[in-house]
Amino acid sequence: MTTLTSNGKALTVKKTFSRETGVSIDIQADKSIIWALLTNANDYPRWNSTIISIDGTIAANEKIKLKAKLDPKREFKLSVKEFQPESTLVWGDGMGKRIYTLKTIGNNLTNFSMNEKIGGPIFPLFAKMIPPFDQAFEQFARDLKSEAETISKTK
């Protein structure tokens, strides 16, 4: 994937057998606040306008069911493939995986990036049926930044 700039703008790279979308944004909050938001499944709909629901527990080797506004009729059954607290979260299925990464870049300043790659040998057959992720990724990043920075200002 081309290196993302931390401006909250999504970038998509399309190839014959895959499509990859990423977004990156700097958030004025401690990593642990962002991690808490990313890993509390039933709290997502409260702050994240791209998510309808997430059922299950976001923890190592757990399974979750996700419904997104981008494709509200579908329920994605996903496995948590990597869970490194306050650093990396990966979930996905046979078609692809989404990677969340957090990096401390300053005092109370964290870089958040989210990347999803979908693809495989039969990807060209259904590629046109999958809506673009760019807007949803940008909204996700904006919502996360807004919520985390609000929490960070709690006195």
Where on the chain is the footprint of other proteins (CB under 8 A)?
A: 29-33, 36-37, 40, 43, 46-47, 150-152, 154-155
CB of 38 to other proteins, least distance (A): 11
Nearer residue to other proteins within complex by CB, 73 or 155: 155
CB of 34 to other proteins, least distance (A): 9
The token duo for 54 is 């997430």
CB of 114 to other proteins, least distance (A): 19
What phi and psi values does residue 117 have, to the nearest 5 degrees?
-120, 125
CB of 20 to other proteins, least distance (A): 31
d(CA 25, CA 73): 29
Nearer residue to other proteins within complex by CB, 37 or 66: 37
C-alpha dist (Å) from residue 37 to 34, 68, 72, 144 = 5, 17, 22, 8
d(CA 110, CA 105): 5
Contacts of 106 (CB under 8 A, 6+ apart): none
Beta-strand relationship, 63-68 and 76-84: antiparallel
